[in-house]
């Protein structure tokens, strides 16, 4: 090992793939020491069942975007495929690492355990590791006293500005020398894709177009299957992977809210930014919900296992057009609106009566905006296993008639039904043999028959889950959850400032 190693700091990027308003980066640069920006495609993530290629391509596109911004500083991100301790062991053969800067990640249990191991690694190697708060989420809380006030104060603070001093970032030559000893990740991604493209540059375009006009129909179209694809902000992937900070978006929205007379739509959007942070904070404080219901009273709930049901649901072949259209759309584009996500989860857990845990990895692999702190609390809420939220069992037929009345969305994603009259598209199983003949269409062959009886299964789920809400353990756990996770005045979360 070189005893005359240069002392440097390292910025370890994780789910904060941006240069601006990145507290970890600002903290590192304020030290004035030479700095390396690092991203590691860790094996524990690459091999984790919750992730898929669409996520890794989004990350690569985000890193490409950062590198374009860093080109004016004659630098780039060192991007490698490895384990985090192996990466730093190799780096230390060339540099003496004084401090590592990153954000506090509210991730999966594997990343939480990785961070605990890495804490020990840093201590044993006399390296300081400074973690910054991420989007106002706090580690170590035992309740929500003053949480809202602290979060809002954080959101109104000035944005962090990326301002490295001259030659502060390791230059391209130094980084290229390092690349010779690492397994460097190829950042090339498909040029043609139906997924949103990663990167702060693209994320800003979505924010700006929403603020400048698309928000005007936000609440009117928020649940509509097709219209929501343009009237919703569509910034969730950029928030999930850190291309944008919540604070950047919050301040833009607040600025518009102070100028416009039409506060309804933008105010509703702002409230959802608050709720986004609320759910991640909830997961941060109760990480066991990754595998088990947060309300321990529901641990006694027993559901059957049907691989045929699960397969039909995963492949969009359930015989319920809106369910199948939503799943196929999600698989191909990485996005469906919140209502359709809730319906997919409800259909799986209530109508098919399968445990929510069996849906986690398939949905997370499909959601381009997979965010652990949103994913698990929402799945449990839609499954009706929190004890504190209203029980919602979505009827896929009524939702289709209400949110896709002309079956435009269904026709697009279930093209085998496109030739049918609209009335039959929503409920093709009502067609008689004669009517099937008129359309040269055969149920069970051209499109599957319903795999379950919706009416019967909705009643079963409703009866069981409503009765369980009266269970003493469920009630006790509901009280505990409310005490631990409820903000003192929930109405403040909904106000339109």
Q: Where in the chain is the domain with CATH 1.10.579.10?
A: 296-485
390-415 pLDDT, tens per residue? 899 999 999 999 999 999 999 999 99
pLDDT band at 488 (very low <50, low <70, confident <90, very high): low
The pLDDT value recorded for residue 486 is: 77
Element (H, E) at 461: helix 454-468
For residue 467, pLDDT over 90 is answered with: yes
Confirm if 381 and 395 have CB atoms less than 8 A apart: no
pTM for this entry = 0.95
pLDDT band at 497 (very low <50, low <70, confident <90, very high): very low
Query: Cα–chain-centroid distance for residue 189?
Result: 21
**Residue keyed to tokens 């507290």:** 23
Mean pLDDT of 79-98: 97
Distance from C-alpha of 338 to C-alpha of 361, rounded to nearest angstrom: 18
Confirm if 284 and 138 have CB atoms less than 8 A apart: yes
Element (H, E) at 362: helix 360-366
The pLDDT value recorded for residue 165 is: 96
Distance from C-alpha of 185 to C-alpha of 80, rounded to nearest angstrom: 5
Q: Where in the chain is the domain with CATH 3.40.50.620?
A: 7-134
DSSP summary character for residue 373 = H
15-30 pLDDT, tens per residue? 999 999 999 999 999 9
Q: The domain 296-485 belongs to what CATH superfamily? A: DNA Cyclobutane Dipyrimidine Photolyase, subunit A, domain 3 (1.10.579.10)
3-state SS, 17-54, equals: CCCCCCHHHHHHHHCCCCEEEEEEEEHHHHCCCCCCHH
For residue 2, pLDDT over 80 is answered with: no
**Phi/psi at 310 (5° precision):** -65, -40
DSSP 396-428: HHHHHHHHSTT-HHHHHH-GGGTTS-HHHHH-G
For residue 496, pLDDT over 60 is answered with: no
State in Å, rounded, how far the first CA of the chain is from the last one. Answer: 58
221-248 pLDDT, tens per residue? 999 999 999 999 999 999 999 999 999 9
Q: What angle do CA 154, 157, 162 make, to 5 degrees?
A: 110
For residue 494, pLDDT over 60 is answered with: no
265-320 pLDDT, tens per residue? 999 999 999 999 999 999 999 989 999 999 999 999 999 899 999 999 999 999 99
Percent of the chain predicted with pLDDT > 90: 91
Question: Which is more confidently placed, 100 or 3?
Answer: 100
Confirm if 102 and 71 have CB atoms less than 8 A apart: no
The pLDDT value recorded for residue 495 is: 41
The pLDDT value recorded for residue 492 is: 44
405-463 pLDDT, tens per residue? 999 999 999 999 999 999 899 999 999 999 999 999 999 999 999 999 999 999 999 99
Q: How many residues does the chain have?
A: 497
State the sign of the Cα–Cα–Cα–Cα dihedral 184, 58, 341, 152.
Answer: positive
Mean pLDDT of 467-472: 94
Range 200-285 has CATH code 1.25.40.80: yes
Query: Cα–chain-centroid distance for residue 37?
Result: 24
For residue 36, pLDDT over 70 is answered with: yes
pLDDT band at 4 (very low <50, low <70, confident <90, very high): confident
For residue 1, pLDDT over 80 is answered with: no
Q: Where in the chain is the domain with CATH 1.25.40.80?
A: 200-285
pLDDT averaged over every residue in the chain: 95
7-134 topology per CATH: Rossmann fold (3.40.50)
């Amino acid at each position: 090992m070189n005893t005359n190693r240069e002392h440097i700091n390292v910025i370890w990027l994780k789910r904060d793939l941006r240069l601006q308003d990145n507290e970890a980066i600002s903290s590192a640069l304020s030290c004035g020491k030479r700095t390396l920006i690092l991203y590691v495609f860790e094996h524990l993530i690459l091999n984790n069942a919750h992730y898929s290629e669409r996520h890794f391509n989004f990350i690569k596109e985000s890193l490409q975007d950062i590198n374009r911004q860093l080109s004016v500083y004659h630098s780039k991100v060192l991007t490698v495929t490895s384990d985090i301790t192996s990466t730093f062991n190799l780096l230390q053969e060339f540099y003496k690492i004084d401090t590592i800067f990153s954000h506090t990640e509210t991730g999966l249990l594997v990343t939480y355990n990785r961070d605990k191991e890495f804490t020990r690694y840093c201590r044993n190697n006399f390296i300081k590791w400074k973690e910054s708060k991420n989007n106002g989420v706090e580690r170590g809380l035992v309740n929500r006293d003053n949480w809202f006030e602290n979060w809002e104060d954080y959101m109104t603070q000035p944005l962090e500005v990326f301002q490295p001093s001259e030659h502060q970032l390791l230059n391209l030559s130094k980084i290229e020398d390092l690349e010779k000893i690492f397994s460097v990740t190829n950042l090339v991604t498909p040029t043609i894709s139906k997924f949103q493209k990663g990167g702060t540059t693209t994320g800003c375009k979505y924010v700006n177009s929403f603020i400048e006009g698309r928000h005007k129909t936000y609440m009117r179209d928020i649940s509509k299957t097709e219209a929501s694809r343009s009237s919703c902000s569509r910034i969730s992937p950029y928030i999930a992977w850190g291309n944008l900070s919540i604070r950047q978006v919050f301040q833009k929205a607040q600025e518009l809210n102070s100028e416009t007379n039409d506060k309804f739509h933008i105010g509703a959007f702002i409230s959802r930014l608050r709720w986004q942070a609320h759910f991640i904070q909830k997961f941060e404080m109760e990480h066991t919900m990754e595998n088990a219901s947060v309300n321990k009273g529901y641990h006694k709930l027993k559901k059957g296992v049907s691989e045929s049901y699960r397969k039909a649901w995963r492949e969009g072949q359930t015989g319920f057009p809106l369910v199948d259209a939503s799943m196929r759309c999600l698989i191909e584009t990485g996005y469906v609106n919140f209502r359709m996500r809730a319906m997919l989860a409800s259909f799986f857990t209530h109508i098919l009566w399968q445990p929510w845990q069996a849906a986690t990895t398939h949905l997370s692999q499909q959601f381009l905006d997979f965010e652990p702190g949103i994913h698990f609390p929402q799945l449990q809420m839609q499954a009706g296993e929190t004890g504190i939220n209203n029980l919602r069992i979505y009827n896929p037929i009524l939702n289709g008639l209400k949110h896709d009345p002309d079956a435009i969305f269904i026709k697009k994603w279930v093209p085998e039904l496109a030739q049918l009259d609209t009335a039959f598209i929503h409920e093709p199983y009502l067609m008689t043999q004669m009517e099937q003949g008129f359309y040269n269409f055969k149920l069970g062959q051209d499109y599957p028959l319903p795999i379950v009886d919706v009416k019967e299964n909705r009643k079963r789920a409703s009866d069981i889950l409503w009765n369980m809400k009266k269970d003493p353990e469920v009630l006790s756990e509901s009280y505990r959850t409310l005490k631990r996770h409820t903000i003192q005045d929930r109405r403040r979360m909904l106000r339109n400032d």
